[in-house]
Amino acid sequence: MASRSETGHIKNAANFREIISFCKGYGAIYNPAKGNLKIVELQLLHQNSIDKLNELTIAKTAFDYATNERRNLFENLKPLFTKIINAFAVSGADPLAISDAKAINKKLQGIRAKAPQTSDPQSATGTTVTQISTSQLSYDRQIDHLENLIQVLVQNKMYNPNENELKVTSLQAKLAELKAKNNQLINSYTKYSNAMLRRDQTMYDPQNGIKQMAKEVKLYVKSLFGATSPQFKQISSLGFTSPR
């Protein structure tokens, strides 16, 4: 995945369009023997690049939307777990089942059952810091924790709260929605990632991408008009960068 700003890709496309415009301005004298250096082919490559950039913008917008939707839906999961545990603790359920539920809650909250202490390597005084586990805080694990907690509740009929959001049926609906949003994000990222690949294949192919074509056009113009010609100076300064 390219880490460079998207403005770099847009700038490359704009510079390539400028090169094409200059080449058109040279008139009939611009007549390369290589087919993909001809104006029509350069214009087609530029349009394909613009199309891929637009497709990527659409895919990224959908991915960002799915990311926000999932984040918002998961946002209240921790406080919801706290409510469930408190309701379960006073439901009259088996103490061992309550203990199991509390253990699941600790995993979701990211707290070790017994948090170890260690010396802080950045502390000159050797002050101890509590280690907080974050290994189980991924969205997939949060879904798994909710699913496990629901199973504990289902097996204990004493749990029958009056609050709608705490009822097992409501939690099952919540679980289904979390799974759907998580899958939606995964699918939208797949489309976004594939759109990036198609953009890079079109714009940065080592044989036929715009950077390579721009390089070859510059060489052709240099051979046509000379290294010190105003025509070559027009296009030689138009730079192209590669995704990193």
Task: Report DSSP letters for 137-188, one per residue.
Answer: -SHHHHHHHHHHHHHHHHT-TT---SSGGGSHHHHHHHHHHHHHHHHHHHHH
Residue 125 has pLDDT above 50, yes or no: no
At residue 55, what are phi and psi to the nearest 5 degrees?
-60, -40
Tens-digit pLDDT profile for residues 42-61: 999 999 999 999 999 999 99
Of 67, 22, 64, 71, the C-alpha closest to 42 is 22
Confidence class for position 123, pLDDT limits 50, 70, 90: very low
Q: What percent of the chain has pLDDT over 90?
A: 79
Secondary structure (3-state) at 74: helix
Neighbouring C-beta atoms of residue 42, cutoff 10 Å: 22
The better pLDDT of the pair 202, 3 is held by 202
Tokens standing for residue 166:
């705490």
* Helix or strand (DSSP H, E) at 8: helix 6-25
Report pLDDT for 241: 85
Contacts of residue 187, defined as CB under 8 A and 6 or more positions apart, other chains included, come to none
Residue 112 has pLDDT above 70, yes or no: no
Tens-digit pLDDT profile for residues 1-25: 343 456 789 999 999 999 999 999 9
Residue 126 has pLDDT above 70, yes or no: no
Mean pLDDT of 152-157: 94
Q: What are the boundaries of each domain within the chain?
A: 6-73+190-236, 76-187
Neighbouring C-beta atoms of residue 122, cutoff 10 Å: 7
The whole-angstrom separation of Cα 57 and Cα 191 is: 11
Report pLDDT for 127: 32
Tens-digit pLDDT profile for residues 57-103: 999 999 999 999 999 999 999 999 999 999 999 999 999 999 999 99
Report pLDDT for 5: 56
Mean pLDDT of the chain: 86
The better pLDDT of the pair 122, 173 is held by 173
Which position has the token pair 């918002």?
A: 72
The whole-angstrom separation of Cα 113 and Cα 107 is: 8
Q: What percent of the chain has pLDDT over 70?
A: 86
Contacts of residue 172, defined as CB under 8 A and 6 or more positions apart, other chains included, come to 150
Tens-digit pLDDT profile for residues 160-171: 999 999 999 999
